[in-house]
Structure 1
Amino acid sequence: MSAGERVAAAARGIVGARFRLQGRDPATGLDCVGVVAVALKAGGHEGPIPSGYDLRCGDAARYRSCWAGLAPADGERPGDVLLCVAGPRQLHLAVRTSAGFVHADAGLRRVVERPEALPWPLLMAWRLASGRLGES
């Protein structure tokens, strides 16, 4: 199983976890950053994760610096980390799967997998390279 496949499988494994802003543990709740952090850890990434943000942070540079150990990607492969523009000054993270994408849905109050295309514009995407970070 590739690193990306491990990331996607881990994301799918937390579908159903409840939503909690700033949440980092599937047992107590996750936000979109928590979903990505849990999935990336399963893929072997041990880098920092964004902290100290709110729902309307809109600061893409913070995400770029935190995911610096990942390779830029097109967002099409399972396991790709997707940074989307969900609204004015509102950024949102998701993980690409073979069926669609997994994300923390604040409206539904849980982590879900959506089988359709992203409903938001894609701003950036990253991925774990097979075996080592930072390789594409």
Structure 2
Amino acid sequence: MSAAVERARAMIGVPFRLHGRSRAGLDCVGLAALALGREAPGDYGLRSGDVARAEGWLRAAGLRPVAQGRPGDLALARPGPLQLHLMIGTGAGFVHAHAGLGRVVEMPGVSPWPILGWWAVE
């Protein structure tokens, strides 16, 4: 298992908190930053649905796009028309900060949302 998957799984159960960056509360960007050992951007706009902007800060964080995700890679998904979401692939599903459930969860199987791209640590 990758170190990123281990770190993400260690956050399961942490409360969801918009712009959260610690075990006190996390959103999908905070979870991704902690799992991948990267700095979270201060001004991200996942709710704008701006894929180019999200891809820009993923590159700035030292990630590169890959054709196929592996365990520990980051999936950029579109759960709604104007919303983007980040999830850590586990090989058997995803770990992500689920706003509706109010906590970080592990979801087995395929993503219920379209995956726009996979990103790996360079």
Of the three residues 63, 66, 72, the one matched with 1:73 is: 66
- Given residue 40 of structure 2, which amino acid in structure 1 is its aligned partner? I
Q: Deviations over 1:62-93 (max 9, x none)?
A: 22111212121234310110000110110010
CA distance in 2, matches of 1:98, 1:88: 26
User: What TM-score does the superposition give when structure 2 sets the normalisation length?
Assistant: 0.89
Matched, 1:37 2:37: no
Flag structure 2 segments of 5+ consecutive residues without an equivalent.
Answer: none
Flag structure 1 segments of 5+ consecutive residues without an equivalent.
Answer: none
1:75, 1:82 within 8 Å by CA — same for their partners in 2?
Answer: no
CA distance in 2, matches of 1:105, 1:81: 15
Write the mapping of 1:1-136 to structure 2, written as runs, cut at 5 A: 5-26=2-23, 28-41=24-37, 46=38, 48-53=39-44, 56-68=47-59, 69-128=62-121, 133=122
| CA-CA distance at 1:49 after TM superposition | 2.7
Relative distance call for 1:56 and 1:73 in structure 2 (3 A) is: same
Give the secondary-structure state (helix, strand or coil) at the position aligned to 1:14. Answer: coil
Instruction: Flag as ranges the 4+ runs of structure 1 deviating above 4 A.
Output: none
CA distance in 1, matches of 2:91, 2:10: 14
| CA-CA distance at 1:98 after TM superposition | 2.9
2:47, 2:82 within 8 Å by CA — same for their partners in 1?
Answer: yes
RMSD (CA atoms)? 1.7
Q: Give the aligned length.
A: 120
Give the secondary-structure state (helix, strand or coil) at the position aligned to 2:48. Answer: coil
- Given residue 32 of structure 1, which amino acid in structure 2 is its aligned partner? C
| CA-CA distance at 1:55 after TM superposition | 6.0
User: What TM-score does the superposition give when structure 1 sets the normalisation length?
Assistant: 0.80
- Given residue 103 of structure 2, which amino acid in structure 1 is its aligned partner? R
| Aligned residues with identical type, % of pairs | 50
